[in-house]
Copies of this chain bind each other. A is one copy, B any other.
Amino acid sequence: MPSDLEKAMETLIMVFHRYADTEGSKASLNRKELKQLMETELSSFLKTQKDPAAIDRIMKDLDSNGDGEVNFEEFVSLVVGLSIACEQLFQKQKQSAGVKKH
């Protein structure tokens, strides 16, 4: 039976390939695939991005090898950044909840 952590890692791979496999190279997300992934999987994050060119900016930020596509390693760096930001928020909420109790 896979552990919670193993299931989460498997989900990262499955979600990436759910979009990367739709067209072109199955090993990377082109712009359209990245847009679909973000609109479906990260819609709340995307809504916080006021910049209408957010997708293009994120694509450029992620595409560290400059091939115009986002491979799994580049995609995971987005997940890492978002997870770290969420965990810091989680810590702050825990601390402020702890302060209210005293």
Contacts and interface: CB of A to CB of B under 8 A. Distances in A.
A12 B76 contact: no
Given A27-B91, A41-B3, A91-B27, A82 B9 contact: yes
A87 B26 contact: no
The prevalent SS among residues of A at the interface is: helix
Given A42-B6, A79-B9, A72 B84 contact: yes
A7 interface: yes
A63 to B, nearest CB: 16
Interface string A38-57: 00111110000000000000
B9 A5 contact: no
Contacts of A86: 9-10, 13
Interface string A4-36: 111111111111110000000011000000000
A94 interface: yes
Contacts of A13: 83, 86-87, 90
